[in-house]
């Protein structure tokens, strides 16, 4: 059999994106400017949200929200240990030790009932995570906050994976107080590096103009952006707050605009790949097929998170290596945070999060990207089956 080289998640870049980037480079203005504003407007429109602010990363988006609402040492922020470290690092940066709540049994999503029990008088924010592009049950979270008379808690969704996902008939983007997207190079829609905050209420929690405050705080607290300062005679500005430096550039936004124009077709291809994998694996009693949709939710088809019934970590790792040996790159999403040195040193133990560990121990993520040929998807899944069954037979 001829070995193919199947990478895990290369970017889907076409002449559309290249043309838009060259227009920016030729314009004489490459940092935050009109293209970033256009991208923000189109993101908000796509998500059916009233507002969107584009920044340098999803991590910056999360941290900016916590900073603008002055969440700091002495406060509590609840999140899940089953996520990439960015979700948690931003909490640490604010001087807060995260409160981790385990995922539900046989799910990658936070356990709402355990979350309810974790809320204390010091809880200021909750950050849920849409793993693999699957939206959490946003209304269930809101119902918990209402039942506990804690609607003062800021509800943030780390929706890094779920741009294009659907919740109760609407695109993900305005269900939480803030939905935060990632446009990193391996996401469904990319800007090379980048992210966005989508939200409805521009006066949330008494703010005069939240969009303006986010933008000022993302530019070192400077009262004018660089484009405004460059106008003749407009050099004077003020520093209003101790801001961050995490604005999105017009170059990045141009890539995003090109991607956004093609996005529905890109999701359709991902959906086709999911279907190929699921059709082949659904006959295997050892294959635990990932969630795609139910009566209220549909994934963005970001990650195909296959789990292998009865597999231990060592067997899962052996499968990853067998596939690598024949040119197929796979991944694991995610190693629970308490398994990392940083979090062990902070006093966390994976023993306290058994559901998270069980999800991780036998999970393998198969390659899904919009330039993957359907015949190559067949090659991937056929070899997954062949290699997995060879391990099972040992």
Helices (H), 120-194: 138-147
Q: Which residues pair with 366 in a beta bridge?
A: 304
Active-site residue identified among 67, 187, 215, 322: 187
Q: Which residues contact 22 (CB under 8 A, 6 or more apart)?
A: none
Decide if 187 is catalytic.
yes
- Give SS3 for 198: strand
Q: Cβ distance 100 to 89 under 8 Å?
A: no
Element (H, E) at 374: helix 374-393
Residue 156 has φ and ψ, to the nearest 5°, of -110, 130
What Å distances lie between residue 245 and 55, 219, 222, 294, CA to CA? 9, 5, 10, 40
Q: Where are the beta strands (DSSP E) in 138-282?
A: 154-158, 166-167, 170-171, 178-182, 195-199
187: Cβ–Cβ under 8 A, 6 or more apart, which residues?
A: 160, 161, 163, 302
> What is the Cα–Cα distance from 278 to 271, expressed in whole angstroms?
10
Query: DSSP label at 133?
Result: G
DSSP string, 99-125: EE-PBPTT-SSB-HHHHHHH--TTEEE
Q: Which of the residues are catalytic?
A: 187
């Amino acid at each position: 059999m001829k070995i193919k080289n199947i990478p895990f998640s290369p970017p889907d870049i076409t002449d559309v994106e290249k043309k838009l980037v060259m227009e920016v480079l030729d314009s004489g203005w490459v940092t935050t400017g009109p293209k970033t504003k256009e991208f923000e407007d189109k993101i908000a429109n796509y998500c059916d949200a009233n507002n969107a602010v584009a920044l340098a990363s999803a991590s910056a988006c999360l941290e900016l929200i916590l900073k603008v609402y002055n969440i700091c040492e002495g406060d509590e922020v609840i999140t899940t240990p089953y996520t990439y470290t960015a979700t948690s690092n931003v909490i640490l940066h604010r001087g807060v030790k995260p409160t981790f709540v385990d995922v539900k049994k046989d799910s990658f999503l936070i356990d709402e009932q355990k979350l309810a029990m974790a809320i204390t008088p010091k809880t200021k924010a909750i950050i849920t995570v849409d793993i693999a592009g699957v939206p959490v049950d946003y209304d269930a979270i809101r119902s918990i906050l209402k039942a506990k008379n804690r609607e003062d808690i800021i509800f943030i969704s780390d929706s890094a994976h779920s741009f294009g996902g659907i919740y109760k008939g609407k695109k993900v983007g305005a269900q939480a107080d803030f939905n935060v997207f990632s446009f990193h190079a391996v996401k469904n829609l990319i800007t090379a590096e980048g992210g966005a905050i989508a939200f409805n209420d521009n006066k949330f929690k008494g703010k005069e103009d939240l969009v303006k405050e986010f933008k000022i705080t993302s530019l070192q607290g400077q009262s004018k952006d660089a484009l405004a300062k460059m106008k003749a005679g407009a050099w004077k500005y003020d520093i209003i707050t101790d801001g961050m430096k995490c604005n999105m550039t017009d170059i990045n936004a141009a890539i995003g605009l090109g991607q956004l124009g093609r996005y529905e077709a890109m999701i359709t291809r991902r959906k086709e790949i999911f279907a190929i994998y699921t059709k082949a694996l659904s006959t295997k009693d050892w294959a635990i097929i990932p969630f795609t949709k139910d009566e209220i939710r549909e994934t963005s088809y970001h990650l195909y998170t296959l789990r292998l019934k009865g597999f231990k970590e060592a067997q899962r790792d052996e499968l990853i290596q067998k596939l690598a040996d024949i040119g197929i790159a796979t991944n694991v999403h995610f190693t629970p945070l308490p398994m990392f040195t940083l979090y062990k040193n902070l006093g966390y133990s994976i023993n306290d999060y058994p559901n998270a560990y069980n999800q991780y121990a036998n999970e393998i993520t198969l390659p899904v990207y919009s330039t993957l040929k359907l015949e190559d998807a067949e090659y991937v899944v056929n070899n997954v089956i062949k290699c997995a069954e060879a391990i099972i037979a040992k």
